[in-house]
Amino acid sequence: MSVKFEFEFAPNLPAPASKWNGFPKYNFIGGHNDAERLPVDALIAAATAVLKREGSSLATYGLNSGPLGYRPLREFLARKLKWHAGIVCQPDEILITSGSLQGLDLVNSLLLSPGDTVLVEQDCYSGSLSRLSRRGVKVVGIELDSGGLRLDALANALDDLKRRGVRPKYLYTIPTVQNPTGTILSEERRLELLRLTRAHAVPIFEDECYSDLIWDGRRPPALYALSGGAGVIHIGSFSKSISPALRVGYIVASWDVLSHILALKTDAGSGALEQMVLAEFCSAHFSEHVLKLNRGLRSKLETLMAALAEQFGTAAEFEDPKGGIFLWLKLPDSVDTQKLAQVALAEGLAINPGPEWSTDKDHGRSRLRLCFANPGKETIQDGVAALAQICHREFGVPTRIANIRQG
């Protein structure tokens, strides 16, 4: 007699994952990188050199570097964070993680309990928003403008919460090439942000995963640098500067904080080979690679903006971002981008609808995010033309496509 065996799953699980059916023809979603700019030959050379020299250390957990991650990679990061973001830290104040998503999870595990409140930018990385909602955390969105987080809105939110006796657990911010808006917060605003949050004893969780992708290379010091590390946890990643598939990110924090985070990281170390190859590659080629990558990304962004101007005319509003891989668009109020995304996907075209990237679903309703890093220029042009046709069919806008009046 056969016994029917069924698992009894734990309560409150997220919705099950759907099966992967390959990438759509026009793929404007996610944070994929530019395949043409991936430094494959230099990565092969780095892998060969580091394995010949140190391959036998793969026999140990942690590569003789301890649980924080491969030491030469942390040494590279300590140097790079100093020249790039003004952060002064020791290699032992850096923990290598499996992508910065693991960094987000670890920091959230350290700081958050159900019912807590956190402050975030109103338009915000959906991966962060979904994580907070899974933890039963209340999210207060702070408005942005073309200069990034609005400090008058932050001051109002902090005062309002104080009146209600609520102290937010942290302010989560992506100050340098914000996702999805692409803004960079000025040094002046950063200093004011630190002053305000300090006055309310609210720590900062700074996510800098796009900060290498800036067209003119100029950026203000990180909040971590400006605060001398006090009350700030900083995370970053190699996903956007080199490759998301490698899954290598990092957390920077003072040891009194990092030691608690390390105790929560129970995976016996992130993938070693990736760390070794990155350390070898980055020490020799990082800056030169990022310069080339940025030139390619800027050129794709220009293709995208020109295609939008041609296909959507004034129906698509956007600001020219200072860096990154995304364009954040506003379509006419009549467009529901969640519906647009659904219909477009059925026709092989993927976009990120605004409500998933905003704490205010009405604000996000007619907005959407396009990632321009992965598709080639022709695909960008054809994809935008296809999107304009679908949008016109479903919502009656744009009324002119490629300067031809529709319908």
Ligand X SMILES: Cc1ncc(COP(=O)(O)O)c(C=O)c1O
* Residues of this chain that bind ligand X (CB under 6 A): 31, 99-101, 125, 127, 174, 179, 207, 209, 237, 239, 244, 249
Coil/strand/helix, residue 111: helix
CB of 213 to ligand X, least distance (A): 11
What's the CA angle centered on 294, arms 143 and 227, to 5 degrees? 50
Q: Which is nearer to ligand X, 125 or 281 (CB)?
A: 125
Nearest-angstrom CA–CA distance, 1 and 283: 63
What's the CA angle centered on 157, arms 153 and 161, to 5 degrees? 175
CB of 120 to ligand X, least distance (A): 11
CB of 160 to ligand X, least distance (A): 26
CB of 84 to ligand X, least distance (A): 17
Q: What is the DSSP string of 235-287?
A: EEESTTTT-STT--EEEE--HHHHHHHHHH--SSSS-HHHHHHHHHHHHHHHH
> 379 exposed, middle or buried (CB, 10 Å; 0-12, 13-18, 19+)?
middle
CB of 77 to ligand X, least distance (A): 14
Q: Which is nearer to ligand X, 211 or 311 (CB)?
A: 211
CB of 181 to ligand X, least distance (A): 11
- Give the number of other Cβ atoms within 10 Å of residue 230's Cβ: 11
CB of 302 to ligand X, least distance (A): 22
The residue among 214, 241, 222, 116 whose CA lies nearest residue 173 is: 222
Q: Which is nearer to ligand X, 130 or 259 (CB)?
A: 130
The residue among 373, 56, 121 whose CA lies nearest residue 240 is: 373
CB of 255 to ligand X, least distance (A): 23
Q: Which is nearer to ligand X, 234 or 300 (CB)?
A: 234
The residue among 330, 14, 319 whose CA lies nearest residue 340 is: 330
Q: Which is nearer to ligand X, 174 or 370 (CB)?
A: 174
Q: Which is nearer to ligand X, 62 or 127 (CB)?
A: 127
Give percent helix, percent strand, percent coil of the chain, each to the nearest 5: 45, 15, 40
CB of 106 to ligand X, least distance (A): 12
Q: Which is nearer to ligand X, 213 or 304 (CB)?
A: 213
The residue among 336, 386, 343, 341 whose CA lies nearest residue 362 is: 336
CB of 39 to ligand X, least distance (A): 18
Nearest-angstrom CA–CA distance, 399 and 315: 8
Nearest-angstrom CA–CA distance, 383 and 297: 17
Q: Which is nearer to ligand X, 67 or 244 (CB)?
A: 244
Strands 352-353, 367-371: pairing kind: antiparallel
Q: Which is nearer to ligand X, 31 or 220 (CB)?
A: 31
Lookup: tokens for 314: 């004034």
- Nearest residue to ligand X by CB is 99
Lookup: tokens for 308: 């939008």
Q: Which is nearer to ligand X, 173 or 366 (CB)?
A: 173
